[in-house]
Amino acid sequence: MSDMDFKAIIAARAALELQDGDIVNLGVGIPTLVVNYLPEGREVFMHTENGLLGVGPTPAPDHVDPDLINASKLPVTQTVGCSFFASDESFAMIRGGHIDVTILGALQVDTRGRVANWSVPGKPILGVGGAMDLLIGAKRVIVTMSHTDRNGNPKIVEECTLPLTADRNVNVVITDLAVFKVEPQGLVLTELLSGATLDEVTAKTGARFDVKLVETTTG
Amino acid sequence: MSDMDFKAIIAARAALELQDGDIVNLGVGIPTLVVNYLPEGREVFMHTENGLLGVGPTPAPDHVDPDLINASKLPVTQTVGCSFFASDESFAMIRGGHIDVTILGALQVDTRGRVANWSVPGKPILGVGGAMDLLIGAKRVIVTMSHTDRNGNPKIVEECTLPLTADRNVNVVITDLAVFKVEPQGLVLTELLSGATLDEVTAKTGARFDVKLVETTTG
Amino acid sequence: MRNKVVTKEEAVSQIRSGSAIMVGGFGQVGTPLLLIDELLRQGQRDLTIISNNVGEPGRGLGLLLEHGRIRKAIGSYFTSNPVVGQHYLRGEIEVQLIPQGSFSEAIRAGGAGIGGFYTRASAGTTLAEGKEQKVINGQLYVLEYPLVADVSLIRAYRADTLGNLTYRKTARNFNPVMATAGKLVIAEVDEVVSPGDLDPESIVTPHLYVDFVVQRGMM
Amino acid sequence: MRNKVVTKEEAVSQIRSGSAIMVGGFGQVGTPLLLIDELLRQGQRDLTIISNNVGEPGRGLGLLLEHGRIRKAIGSYFTSNPVVGQHYLRGEIEVQLIPQGSFSEAIRAGGAGIGGFYTRASAGTTLAEGKEQKVINGQLYVLEYPLVADVSLIRAYRADTLGNLTYRKTARNFNPVMATAGKLVIAEVDEVVSPGDLDPESIVTPHLYVDFVVQRGMM
C-alpha cells in the first residue's frame, strides 16, 4: 500500500465522522485531506485557529492570496459566509467548546485514549502550537494516524512514552487498519479497515482494547 | 450660589486637567458637563464604557439616534474617527490602562484620596456599574463633587464611613471650593475656588491636608 | 444551505422554566425586547436573569420582574429600575452584583473556556468579601469565576441566514459577548441577508455562536 | 487634528536595546517585515521577542535571530525555523514555550489588565510543570500570567491618521491583541486614510491602542 493510499483510507473514514452543520478544525497532515472525502451534500464549516471560519479548498496557483492561509501555513480560499477574527478570539472559540470536531494527528495514543503529539524524543521542545488547546476544547476529538510507526512499532500503546498533550481522552482513533472508539473503560475496536484482520490489528497494537465490531463502512 | 453655578465652576476647573490627545471617560453627573469647558483647540477623545470611543455632544431633539447613548443612558452623537466595540472590549481598555483620565463623582473622599461612590447608606446595594473598574484602571482619576453634602457636612473626611470603591487613591479632587492633589503623604490643597478662603475650606473639610497654594486658574 | 431564521414563538419555545438566561442591552438600548415579550407571553418562570440592568418599570425585563418570573438577577446596575429594589426588599428576588467590567469579563470567560480570572476591580472592597484574593506583582486582585447561561437572548442589527451577526452603534454593548456564553443563542435582528452579504472582515459574531435568528417585524 | 503617521526610521528609533517586543504574524503572514528590517538596520540588540514564530531562515525575525539580536523568544511554535533550534542548542537563545491559545490569551490579559487566568490547556502535561494548577468544577486548570511588552510591532491593512486600524484576511491573527499589550505600539500598514474613511462599526483596533503608523511603500 502506497503512502498516499493509506492516508486516503484514513481521511475517507474520518470524513464519515463529520455531521451536517459541524464546525470542524483540521490539524496538519492527514486531517487536511478529510475535506476531499466529505459525502455529497454534507455541509461542514472549517475553522482554522489563525483566524478564519469558512476555510475553502486549496486555490489554483495563480489564485493564491498571500494573506489567506490555514494553520498549516498553506494557501486556502474563503467560503461564502466566512468570517475573519484575531487569534485570541479564535482560541476563545476553541477553548470555549464552540468547535464541534477537531481531527488531529498523533505520535502515540494510550489505552485510555489520551494522545501524545507535540514533542519528539531527543529533540529540544520548541513547538507546541494549538494542539493542547484543541484537545481540551473541541467537543469531539478524532485522531488520524498510521497504525504503526516507520519501524513497524505500535503507536497505540498501554502508556505513552512521549509526553501527553492533554489529560483528556480523545473520542475516536482512526488508523489505516482500524477504528477505535474511546469508551469510559478505554479503547474499543469497532471497525477493521484495508482488509485488516483482528489478529493483525491485535499484533500491531500495543494496548489492551475491547472488540465490538460493527459493519465496516470503507476500506 | 445656584446649583448650576457650582457645577459649572467644578466642571470648568476639571476641564483644565485634560491634556491634548487624552482619552477621557466621564462619569455620571458633573463630569458630563466637562466637555462644555474644554479650552479652544484642545483635542480630547471621549470614551464611554458602553462601547464608543469618540462620543460627541448631545444631539438636537430631532437628531436623536436611539442606538447611540452614553454610560449615563443619555443620547449622544459620534465624532469623526470614532469606533464602536462591545462591553468586554470597552472594559479591557479601562482595566488595561488605556484610558488616560476618568472624571467621576464621589460621595466621600478620605485623607489618603480614596473614594466612596457606589453605595448609599441604609439602602440595599443594587448598583455598582463601572466605577470600580474605572478607579483601578484609568491612568489618572479626577473626582468632582460638591465640597459638602446637602446638610453642610464635609465630604472630604479622615476615613470614609461609606464603603470604598477601590483601594487605589485618586489623583485630583475638585470641589466648588478647592482643588486638592493627592500626594503620597495624602491630600494637598493647591487652589481655592469661588473666592473661598483657607479658613472656610479648613472648616468645611473633615480631613487633614497640606497646603501648597498655586495661582488659582478659575473661580 | 442551513437557515437559522425561525419565528419568535419557535425560538422562545426552546426555553424552559428554571433556566439561566443572559439578556443583552445597556439600559433598553440593544435589548431584545421582542424575545422578552414573547418569553412573557409563553410564561416561563423561575428564571435567573444575567443582564447588566433589569429593564425599566413596565418595559423589557421589568415586565418579567413585575410578573414574578425572575428568581435571581446577576448584573452590575439594577438601581435604574426601582421595582428591583421593591422585589429585593420583599425577598422575592435574589441579587448578585458584580462590577460592570468583571461582569462582562466573566461572561467572556464563560464563552472562552477560561476557568477564572484575576482583576483589580473590587479588590479590597466590601464587594469582594468572600471571594478569593491574591497578590500579584504587589497588587491585590480578586478571583472571578466565569458566567454561562442556558440561553442567551441577544439583539443584533443584521444577520445572514447562517447566523453571522453585525450590530449597530452602542446597541452592541453586551450582545456579542453574551452570544459566546449561552448554550442556546437566539438573536433578534432588524434585517436578514444572504450569506456573503455581510463583509467577512466586519462580522462581529461568527455564526458558530448562534442557534436561531428571529427577524423583527415578521409574523 | 493629530496625525500618528511617521517614517519607519522615526518609529523604530524609539526602540531601545534590551526591550521586550511583541511581533505580530502567523508564519510570515501579517508580519511587519518593514519594521523588522528597520530594526535590523538600526542595530538594537539583547531583545526579548514575543511572537508565535521566529520567522524563517533569512527572513523576518529569522534575520534578527541570525544576527544575534534576540536573547529570548516567547511563543508557541518555533519549530518552523530550524535556526531557532541551532541557536537554542548552542545556548545562544532562551526559549519560553506556551500553548498557542494560552499565548494569545496571555497577551489579551496583558492588554486588558487581567492579573492571571486559568485555562485547561496544558493542565496535567509536562508543559505545566512549575506552574500553579487549580481544580475548578472538578477539572484541572493551569494559572497563566499576562504577557506585556515595551513595544508591539504590528501589521495592519488600513489606518486612519488617528491610528484606527483594520486588517486583511488571515493577516489579522495576533496583530490586534498585540496592539493592546505594548507600551509603545507601531503599526505597519498598506494604506493611510483620513479619519471617517474607516467604518466605525468595522474598526478592529481603536486608535487609543496605537502610537505610530508607518506606511509601506513610503520613503
Is B49 assigned a catalytic role?
Answer: yes
Confidence at residue A160, expressed as pLDDT on a 0 to 100 scale: 96
Which residue on chain D is closest to B93 by alpha carbon? D112
Amino acid identity, residue A160?
C
Q: What confidence score (pLDDT) does residue A124 get?
A: 81
Nearest C-alpha neighbor of B97 from the set B137, B135, B39: B137
Q: How many beta-carbon pairs under 8 angstroms link A with C? A: 59
Low-confidence stretches of chain D (pLDDT beneath 70): 1, 219
Collect the ranges in chain C with pLDDT lower than 70.
219
Q: How confident is the model at residue A148 (pLDDT cuts 50, 70, 90)?
A: very high
Q: How many angstroms separate the most distant Cα atoms in chain B?
A: 51
User: What CA–CA distance (Å, rounded) separates D115 from D106?
Assistant: 10
- Give the model's pLDDT for residue A219: 42
Q: Which homologous superfamily is B3-176 in? A: Glutaconate Coenzyme A-transferase (3.40.1080.10)
Interface mutation target, options D102, D118, D137, D144, chain C, most CBs of C under 10 Å: D118
Indicate whether A56 pLDDT > 70.
yes
Q: For residue range A62-92, what is the model confidence (pLDDT) as tens digits?
A: 999 999 999 999 999 999 999 999 999 999 9
Buried b (16+ CB within 10 A) or exposed e, D27-52: bbbbbbbbbbbbbbeeebeebbbbbb
Residues A167, D85: C-beta atoms closer than 8 Å: no
What is the rounded distance in angstroms from the CA atom of residue B72 to the CA atom of residue C59? 18
Which residues in A lie closer than 8 A to residue C111 (C-beta atoms)?
A: 92, 96, 98
Contacts of D121 in chain A (CB under 8 A): 95, 132-133, 136-137, 166
In chain D, which residue's Cα lies nearest the Cα of C134?
D115
Q: What is the pLDDT of residue C80?
A: 85
3-state SS, residue C108: helix
User: What does the alpha-carbon distance between residue A202 and residue A209 come to, in Å, rounded to a whole number?
Assistant: 9
pLDDT at A2 over 80: no
Cell reading at B190: 493647591
Pairing of β C139-144 and β C133-136: antiparallel
Contact B142, B104 (CB under 8 A): yes
| Annotated catalytic residue, options A49, A158, A191, A215 | A49
Residue A97: left if φ>0, alpha if ψ -120 to 50, beta else—which one?
left
Find the residue in D nearest to A74 (Cα). D27
One of B49, B183, B200, B215 is an active-site residue; which one?
B49
Separation between Cα atoms, residue B59 and residue B179, nearest integer Å:
32
Nearest-Cα residue of chain B relative to residue D3? B21
Pairing of strands C149-155, C20-23: parallel
Q: For residue A52, which of A33, A74, A30, A34 has the smallest C-alpha distance? A: A74
Residue B188 contacts residue B210 (beta carbons within 8 Å): yes
Instruction: Give the tens place of pLDDT for each residue, C123-167.
Output: 999 999 999 999 999 999 999 999 999 999 999 999 999 999 999
Are A82 and C200 within 8 A, CB to CB? yes
Topology of the domain covering C8-215: Glutaconate Coenzyme A-transferase (3.40.1080)
Chain D residues within an 8 Å CB radius of A87: 26, 52, 100, 104, 173-174, 177
Interface present between A and B (3 or more CB pairs within 8 Å):
no
Report CB contact under 8 Å: D97, A127. yes
Nearest Cβ partner of D201 from C113, C141, C166?
C166
Mean pLDDT of all residues in A4-19: 92
**H/E stretch holding C105:** helix C100-112
Contact C26 B137 (CB under 8 A): no
List Cβ neighbours of A205 (8 Å cut-off, separation of 6 or more).
Answer: A147, A154, A156, A178
Hey, what amino acid is at C216?
R
Domain boundaries, chain A: 3-176
Q: Strand, helix or coil at D8?
A: helix
CB A23 to CB C208 under 8 A? Answer: yes
Q: What is the DSSP letter of B210?
A: E
- Chosen for mutation from D158, D167, D193, D203 (greatest number of chain B CBs closer than 10 Å) is D203
Nearest CB to C121: which of B88, B127, B132? B132
Walk along chain B (219 residues) and give the pLDDT tens digit of each residue.
Answer: 566 688 999 999 999 999 999 999 998 888 989 988 998 889 999 999 999 999 999 999 999 999 999 999 999 999 999 999 999 999 999 999 999 999 999 999 999 999 999 888 778 889 999 999 999 999 999 999 999 999 999 999 999 999 999 999 999 999 999 999 999 999 999 999 999 999 999 999 999 999 999 975 554
Report pLDDT for B4.
Answer: 62
As a whole number, the mean pLDDT across chain C is 96
* D169 contact residues in A (CB cutoff 8 A): 52, 65, 67-68, 78, 84
